[in-house]
Amino acid sequence: MVDFVKEKLDDIQKNLEKMIISKYTASSSYNKSENIKNKLEKNKIKTIQELNSNIKSYTNNFSTSAKGKWVIKAEKSFLESTKEFNSF
């Protein structure tokens, strides 16, 4: 009887240790994953904003320096590209 109780208590202790280890390891991994996702999202937004700003600047400089009928089509093409980046 004593051996049976001792065996059961050992099993309970092992299971408890496993639960504690998995809880802290899993929560740490989850937090790390969420932090990485947040950083990536912020970098994505920042990159798209910088790209949009560069496209607008390029379009403005292009329209003042380029001459001819094809300039209007090129400007429209640049603006369409900008709209596609905004959809991200």
What pLDDT, in 10s, does the model give residues 25-83? 777 788 888 999 999 999 988 988 888 888 878 877 877 777 777 888 887 887 787 77
Tokens found for residue 3:
């051996």
What ranges do the domains of the chain cover?
A: 2-86
Joined tokens for residue 26: 């899993």
Q: Which of 41, 19, 54 is nearest to 88 (CA)?
A: 41
Q: CA–CA separation, 69 vs 23, rounded Å?
A: 66
pTM: 0.56
Longest Cα pair distance anywhere in the chain, in angstroms?
Answer: 99
Eight-state DSSP code of residue 87: T
Question: Is residue 86's pLDDT more than 80?
Answer: no
DSSP state of 18: H
